[in-house]
Structures are given as C-alpha cells and as structure tokens.
Structure 1
Amino acid sequence: MLRRGLAAAFAAFCATLAGTAAAQTNIPSPTLDAIRARGTLNCGIHTGVAGFASPDSRGVWQGLDVDLCRGLAAVIFNDVSKVRFVPLSASTRFTALGSGEIDVLFRTSTQTMLRDTTLGLRHVTTYFYDGHGFMVRANAGVNRVREMAGATICLIAGSTNEQVTADYFRSINVPFQPVVFERTDQAAAALAAGRCDSFGTDASQLAGTRASMPNPRDWTILPERFSKEPYGAYVRRGDDNWFDIVRWYTTAIIEAEEQGITRANAEEMRRTSVNPNTRRLLGVTPELGQSLKLDPLWAYNAIRAIGNYGELYERTMGENTPVALPRGPNNLHNNGGLLYALPMR
C-alpha cells in the first residue's frame, strides 16, 4: 500500500509539473502579438557607424546590426522589408526600448550587470566581442595611451566608454580633458577638426569611424584595450517568449555557421541533410519553431535572408570592406574565437 501511495503521489507530482510547463508554454507574448498586429518590427539601431549601421548612397541602412534586425523580421514574417529602423543615440536607446518605442535593440550595446539589473531590460545572447580603445592621428607620435597626458578626448554620452576612460586615466594618475558628444559622427567631426587629440570608444567603432574619414590612413587605432565590451540585443523584462525568440534567433545564425549552412545551400541542406541537428534547425522537424510559437521554418527563413554569422560579418565589416576588421574574438570557438552556439535541441 505504501508503494502504491508513493507511486500515486509521484504521478500526481509529474502531472502537476506537466501542467505547469504546458501553462508556461501557452503564455502569450505581448511583444510578438503587437509586432504581428502592427505588421512591422521596430528595431533600434545606431545613428550611424560604418560596419554596424549606416545609410548607403541611396539612404538604405546597411551593417551587421541592421541585418540582424532584417533577419529577425524574416523570423517573424518571412519578409526582411517588414522592419522599421529607429536610429538612437547612446543616451536615448534604453529609454526608447523601455517606453515601447522599439521592440528590440540591436545597437552596439555592451552587456553589463547594472544595465541588466536596474533598467527593467534584459540583455540577450552576445553576438559581438569588443574592447575599449583610442584613435589618434598617425603623425601624433603617440604609441601608448599612457603618453596622452593632458590630452583632449572625444567621448559619447551615455556609453560605457565615458566611465572606462575616466577609470583608466584615474588609475594611472594622468589628467585628461573629456569632450562629450551625443553622436559618433559629431565626435568624428570634432576629431577631424582638431578639437580633440583622440577619440575613445570600442575598437570596432573606431575602425568604422576611421573608414568614414576622408583619409583613413591619417589615423591610428592604438593597440591597447581597456575593457570587455560584449554586445547583445536588449529587450524589455517580463516577456519571456520574446526574449527566447531573440535569444535563439541570434544563436541560430551562429549555429548555421558552425554547421556550414549558408544562404546559398540552406535550401539544398533542408532537402537532403540527414543530420538531426540540421533538420531541427532548418525546420524539417518542427519542434524548435513550436517551442517559440513560430513557423517551423523560422531559422531557415532567417538564414536564407541574411546568411550565417560568418557571411554577415564578412559582408558588413570583414577584411574586404572599408572597415577591414579581422574577426579575432568574433570567430567561431573552433577557429580561435569566442562565438559558441548553445545546443539547439
């Protein structure tokens, strides 16, 4: 009788867990519902920095963050045109997300503990690894940041770079003069005009700024790095399904590169692959999409739209672009980098 009683209690416990899991699975996503009703994804991006987000000669936004927005639109609508880009400064980006002006922020935004715990927002999976650096004129005779005593340094308001710069110069007891701007293009113009001796921000953004200068060879990015700057998308707290969609979409783009799935071969691999991981990712078996309340082809549609992470990187800031930034830490883990797709099963 005791055994039967324990078995009955265990069965009831399992049923309760199953019911709880089913209830959680069926919790609606206010953000996803609003996007579908609106017919457009509102995506926050940079106001303009080459490689991540900048308009081309036709006024069309291009860059890594921009294409991540387009890929997310493909996940939801299978249509990369159903996205509205909202350019935001560093000081307004989190307010815009918190107020509901945008649905997701893909904007060179470092993931930090205080941002994650105090803003009512959640950072998602890291998609880019960077570090704070400084750019100076090539003929300035400066080889190390320590040599910039008394220098005037351009910085961006509301960025982690303000604090990183102040902390470093304080730590070595060297004075400097900050000149703070709202936007990167303003800081770049001040640097070019001689109002600043240096520009301090993340190295990838320095590379993008240098590429936009009339004579890029006139500028040198010093080799030292003074912080860890892992970029991730941000979403509002309280919508777990939307967090999961953005998280696993970002992971899927990295996973596609790990598996060798590209824009060109995704259709063939979907038809012919016998690899269970590939079949799950490309929607041959539907469980991944079902878990996110999405079409089974959600990841396939994104990969067909923007490619895998490697394709995306090389197209927007790789060595054959004006930014010409080697992948370094943004390579796959098995190629000496830090990118690592979580298991999608």
Structure 2
Amino acid sequence: MRCSPTLLALVFAGISAPALAQQATLDRIKERGSIAVAYRESSIPFSYLGGDGQPVGFGWEICGRIVEQVKKATGRTDLKTTTQAVTSQNRIPLLQNGTIDIECGSTTNNSERAKQVAFATNYFYTGTRFLVRSESPVKSVADLKGKKVVSTTGTTNFQVLRKLNAEQNIGFELLTAKDHAESALLVQQQRADAFGMDDILLYGLRASAANPAELAVVGEAIQVEPYAIMLRRDDPAFKKLVDDTLAGLMKSGEFETLYKKWFQSPIPPRGINLNAPMSKELQDNLKALSDKPAL
C-alpha cells in the first residue's frame, strides 16, 4: 500500500497509523473486555464512596444501567467494570486520553467543556450557593465582603465566583481546595467563611458531616446549570447508547424512582435524607430529553 507523505511523516515521528483516527468507544470496550467507569469520591449523592469504601450514588447507579446496555451492544456478557476515582482537575484529561470511558458524577454541561468532551442528556439541574457554619452572619452574596470564600479547583463554580467578585466588586478573598470534602473542611475549621458550590452537593456534604446542624446552605442560586454524564467527543454511537439508556429510564419512571431513592430517602453511609425535591428544570427535561449546555 502506498503511504501518503503526511502519513509517513507521522509514522517516522513515532505516531502509529491507528492513532490517526480515534477508535470507537464500543469497539475498544469489546476488544479489551472491560469498561472504565469514573466516579467522584465526595459528590454526594451523585457519586461518592459508601461505608464499604466502594462507589455509590445516583449517577453511579445510572452508569450501572448503561454498562448493562453496553454488554448487550458489544455481545460481551462477561464484560468487566473497572473503576477510576477522578477529580475536577483530571476528569477531562483522563477521558480524552482513554483512561476512562465514561464519567458519572456531578459535571456541569457547558459550552466551553463541549469543545473538549461530549455530554449525554442532562440528568440534573443545580445552582451555586454557599455552605457556612450555622452561626455565620453570611446569608447572601452581599455578606461576603471581606470574607474568605473557598471553591473547588477545576469547577465552573470557581469561575462563576471569580467573575462575580470582579464584576460586582464584592471584595472577598477566593481560595481553592483540591476537592469538595477539603473545601467543606475549611469552613468547618473556620479557615474559610463560605464554600461556594452547587447547592445539591452542599446539601450532601452537610448531611454527611459529623454534626449537620453546625452547617447551613444559604443564599439565592447565582445561576442554574445542568449536570450530565461525560463522554468522549465525536463518538455518536456511544452517545446514542447512553442517551437511549437515559431516555428509557426517564420514560419508564425508573429515573424518578432512582431520584426518590437518592434525593428524598435515607442514603448511605449515615442514613440521612437530603429532602431535595426535583426541580422544575429537571421535571421538564424528563420530557424534553435535552443535552443543551449552560452558556
């Protein structure tokens, strides 16, 4: 076979021909006999470590349903599931380089990230609010002047807070932490006055704290954004499988059953109920089945 000059140049540069085109996710999974599923360690109740140290949660269960459909699509009933903990900083690179095949956590679907990855149908909607100590005078954004506000590195919330602080000249000091658990700990230890994050994650962190009554979630939501399962770009067959799985769950009522299990019932490891009703945006999307990103 005659090779083009471009191909020859790439081969001599150490880049193999198969690397020129990304192998379809389903083909890769079938070939190696396993699917790599990413989880978060403290994104309660979407994806987090349960009492036995294994991943659990709303998103994790939905990923389990997706894995079952992948087994059918690949004909691999013996398909193994490998797990990989990810953070806000490394989740996109690990997806792009093939370390993971799918991420089921609390990742915001927005236009900027859509340049790097793909998103399935939106499966939650949330807004940035604040976790504070119960005795804190901070009740709204206006109360943050001169305060220390922490947010998790690599999240859209950090960007939202930095922009808000600059545009409104509020005057708070913005700190970073490696993950949500560390951000919450800074507030508990009074090293930060408030933790700005998606409100549902804050409710989860509060519920899992040693003494939930010591913490409160305050403020109006700064902006509402969708969460979605994250996939590699330019792989329409895999995205269709994931979207079809979600559509089936939403149309059958199983999605609402899972929602009640994780947001309106006692959850592990401490049996605390988040008592989080389904938002109007999510109720609407059970019918619309949209994967529209936040701006």
TM class by shorter-chain length?
0.7 to 0.9
Give a deviation string over 1:223-282, Cα, whole Å, max 9, x none.
Answer: 40012220111211222111111122122211111xxxxxxxxxxxxxxxxxxxxxxxxx
User: Using the alignment, how far apart are the partners of 1:163 and 1:80 within structure 2?
Assistant: 43
User: Higher relative contact order by CA 8 Å / sep ≥ 6: 1 or 2?
Assistant: 2
User: Using the alignment, how far apart are the partners of 2:277 and 2:214 within structure 1?
Assistant: 20
**1:339 counterpart (279, 286, 289):** 286
The structure-2 alpha-carbon separation of the partners of 1:340 and 1:137, relative to structure 1 and needing over 3 Å to count, comes to: same
Q: Does 1:317 align with 2:248?
A: no
SS at match of 2:135: coil
Aligned residue in 2 for 1:85: 83
Q: Which runs of structure 2 are paired with 1:169-184 in the superposition (5 Å)?
A: 169-184=165-180
**How far is 1:142 from its partner?**
2.5
Contact 1:73/1:80 (<8 A) preserved: no
Q: Does 1:255 align with 2:251?
A: yes
The structure-2 alpha-carbon separation of the partners of 1:250 and 1:80, relative to structure 1 and needing over 3 Å to count, comes to: farther
5+ residue gaps in structure 1?
1-27, 258-307
Aligned residue in 1 for 2:110: 112
The structure-2 alpha-carbon separation of the partners of 1:143 and 1:81, relative to structure 1 and needing over 3 Å to count, comes to: farther
Q: Percent identity?
A: 24
Contact 2:71/2:79 (<8 A) preserved: no
Q: Does 1:69 align with 2:63?
A: yes
The structure-2 alpha-carbon separation of the partners of 1:82 and 1:71, relative to structure 1 and needing over 3 Å to count, comes to: farther
RMSD, aligned α-carbons: 2.2
Compute the TM-score of the two structures, normalised by the length of structure 2: 0.82
Contact 2:35/2:79 (<8 A) preserved: no
SS at match of 2:120: strand
Aligned residue in 2 for 1:164: 160
**How far is 1:330 from its partner?**
6.0
User: Using the alignment, how far apart are the partners of 1:341 and 1:318 within structure 2?
Assistant: 23
User: Using the alignment, how far apart are the partners of 1:317 and 1:339 within structure 2?
Assistant: 16
Give a deviation string over 1:24-80, Cα, whole Å, max 9, x none.
Answer: xxxx97211221233322112212222111222222211011112111111122679
Contact 2:127/2:223 (<8 A) preserved: yes
Q: Determine which structure has more spread, i.e. the larger CA radius of gyration.
A: 1
**How far is 1:318 from its partner?**
1.8
Contact 2:48/2:57 (<8 A) preserved: yes
**How far is 1:81 from its partner?**
8.5
The AA in structure 1 aligned to 2:56 is Q
5+ residue gaps in structure 2?
1-21, 291-295
